[in-house]
Amino acid sequence: MRLDVLTIFPEYLEPLRHALLGKAIEKGLLAVGVHDLRQWATDVHKSVDDSPFGGGPGMVMKPEVWGPALDDVAAGTGPATAAQELASAAPHVDRARHDELHGREVAGYDGRDVREGEDPEAPLLIVPTPAGVPFAQPQARAWSNEDHIVFACGRYEGIDQRVVDDAAHRYRVREVSIGDYVLIGGEVAVLVMAEAVVRLVPGVLGNAASHEEDSFSDGLLEGPSYTKPREWRGLEVPEVLTSGNHGAVDRWRREQSLRRTLERRPELLEAAELSKQDRAFLEQIRAD
């Protein structure tokens, strides 16, 4: 997978070099290019924004800068070839991760994000904006199958809408939000989405089974986890977890997951796949 990021703050994307993403780069599963948008500025002041038509506060990012920048990044031409290729920050280590040691098969997720009339070969263009459709685990899964994702980070009041409309000739374009709050720009949202997507690329996390128990993978929140010691500051680990009864452990985990989802995200229960036993358990705690 290749990720390209267009931004006026390339240094904001430094964290992509660390931890999981750095490991994916080291393994050759991921390439990341970070491009300074000002390389495509046309005037001596390297300006990238202008006042909005119709008036109002703030500035709008200019189409004559964004248009050629997106053309070049899609084609790998012009200043885009001089991208700062991110290398991993980690010292090279060939120690297998704990979750790689179980010999499980690495498998990808089914399904891609291709809409009717779109070229499935066109790269995906992600435009982070608080006015976008919500980004969630289904997008993370679908996008983990992409060869090339480009992120266009807007600042100020956003990017001239014609940039997004025109980019649809070369890209599959998605305007997305990472939540109901306003950030100053799209850079941090790109870090969030890149991490959510890249950890699902086959071989990055080591095994797909470790995703199957993630929150949201079955539409429910994950329950609590415990490790040694059995007793800590007077607090005991729930007895069932040390009982050796795997059936009882599985049922207890399911119930913790249901309880937590009911308390914190009750709306998720409507879309989740629930057994008769699940429904009976929820009825019981609702009654308590």
CA-angle at 94, arms to 93 and 96, nearest 5°: 115
Stretch that binds ligand 6GU, among 74-82, 83-91, 183-191, 211-219 (CB under 6 A): 183-191
- The number of residues that bind ligand 6GU (CB under 6 A) is 14
- Per DSSP, the chain holds a count of helices (H) and strands (E) of 9, 10
Instruction: Based on the shown chain and the rule CB under 6 A, indicate whether residue 177 belongs to the binding site for ligand 6GU.
Output: yes
The Cα–Cα gap between 137 and 262 comes to 19
- DSSP secondary structure string for all residues of 170-229: TSEEEEEESSSS--SSSHHHHHHHHHHHHTTSTTTSS-THHHHTSTTTTSS-------S-
3-state DSSP assignment of residue 151: strand
The Cα–Cα gap between 50 and 39 comes to 17
Nearer of residues 127 and 142 to ligand 6GU, judged by Cβ: 127
- Please, which residues bridge with residue 126 across strands? 151, 174
Positive or negative, the CA dihedral 234, 240, 246, 251 is: negative
Closest approach, Cβ 184 to ligand 6GU, in A, equals 7
Instruction: Based on the shown chain and the rule CB under 6 A, indicate whether residue 186 belongs to the binding site for ligand 6GU.
Output: yes
188-227: which residues touch ligand 6GU (CB under 6 A)? 189
The residues that are catalytic are 130, 157, 199, 214
Residue 171 known to bind ligand: no
Closest approach, Cβ 140 to ligand 6GU, in A, equals 14
Instruction: Based on the shown chain and the rule CB under 6 A, indicate whether residue 185 belongs to the binding site for ligand 6GU.
Output: yes
**For the range 72-77, what are the long-range contacts, defined as Cβ-Cβ under 8 Å and sequence gap of 24 or more?**
72/40, 73/4, 73/6, 73/33, 73/35, 73/150, 74/123, 74/150, 74/170, 74/171
Closest approach, Cβ 196 to ligand 6GU, in A, equals 12
| One of 31, 89, 183, 240 touching ligand 6GU (CB under 6 A) | 183
Nearer of residues 66 and 281 to ligand 6GU, judged by Cβ: 66
CA-angle at 195, arms to 207 and 19, nearest 5°: 75
Closest approach, Cβ 103 to ligand 6GU, in A, equals 38
The site map against ligand 6GU for 121-150 (x = CB under 6 A) is -------xxx-x------------------
Which parts are annotated binding residues for S-adenosyl-L-methionine? 154, 178-183
Interface with ligand 6GU (CB under 6 A): 128-130, 132, 176-179, 181-183, 185-186, 189
Which parts are annotated binding residues? 154, 178-183
